[in-house]
Amino acid sequence: MTPNKENFIKAIYELGGDHSVISNKKLVKNLSISAASVTEMNARLLKENLISHVPYRGVKLTASGIRIAHQLIRKHRIWEVFLSEKLGYNWNEVHADADLLEHVSSDLLIERLNDFLDEPEFDPHGGVIPNKDGSLPETSAFPLTDVSTGRPFTIKEVDDDEEFLNYLLEKDIQLGDHYTLTDVESFDGPLTLETPEGRQILIGHKAAFKILVDYVV
């Protein structure tokens, strides 16, 4: 396993490759490499039985491919917790360094880091940290776009994308915040959220899709 292969598998996973076939096009865009390079990497991973391939359609992770993705994401997210909680990184700064560190982390290192951090369950963006064995803990959260008006909810997880996180910083939206949906414009228009204190926040439909929430009990 090399850093390149690991990143490639992670990209497939993050595009939904654990349950559906991902096109080369999507990987080209996500990884910023040429289409030819995607075809080549597919061939390599196919030989190692980490993906299944439907010619001219795309690829899907096998069970062992998914396990490797989960283990890499575990490393990534534990590093993000460390950078955020111990080194004072903002949540929009952690990703880049974690993306490098994840590839040079021995199991020993990750488990000791995990202990040092008191076995965190979530990364700074609310992403759940996979278990050591490569399984994924159960979580319940759904996109903000699916929330019903009037029923209070809380922010559970947000997209780990630097630009988007800056947008949330501007709007002062944080994990754990409580809101109520008061209005939705039709035709995928913006959503209006209200804080318990009565402050109104306007969120575009595309942004709302990158925010996962859950109802307050």
Partner DNA sequence: GAACATTTTTAGTCTATCCTAAAAATATAT
Partner DNA sequence: ATATATTTTTAGGATAGACTAAAAATGTTC
Contact positions vs a second copy (CB under 8 A): 83, 86-89, 93, 96-97, 100-101, 103-104, 106, 108-109, 112-113, 115-116
Cα–Cα distance, 52 to 9 (Å, whole number): 12
Give the distance from CA 31 to its chain's centroid: 15
Residue 61 sits at φ, ψ, to 5 deg, of: -75, 145
Select the binding partner of residue 101 from a second copy, Mn ion, DNA, none (C-beta < 5 to 8 A, by kind): a second copy
Smallest distance from a second copy to CB 142, Å: 35
CA pair distance 55, 66, nearest whole angstrom: 20
Check: CB of residue 155 under 8 Å from CB of residue 175.
Answer: yes
- As measured in angstroms, the least distance from the Cβ of 79 to Mn ion is 9
Size of the site for DNA (CB under 7 A): 25
Question: Residues 163, 153: contact at Cβ < 8 Å?
Answer: no
Does position 117 interact with DNA (CB under 7 A)? The reply is no
15 binds, among Mn ion, a second copy, DNA, none (CB under 5 to 8 A by kind): none
Is 56 near DNA (CB under 7 A)? yes
Q: Does 35 bind DNA (CB under 7 A)?
A: yes
Torsion of CA 110, 111, 116, 122, to 10 degrees: 70
Alpha-carbon distance 65 to 207, whole Å? 30
The site for Mn ion, by CB under 5 A, has a size of: 4
Does residue number 53 form part of the binding site for DNA (CB under 7 A)?
yes
Considering CB distances under 5 to 8 angstroms, the limit depending on partner class, which of Mn ion, a second copy, DNA, none binds residue 21? none
Q: Report the residue number, 115 or 197, with the smaller CB distance to a second copy.
A: 115
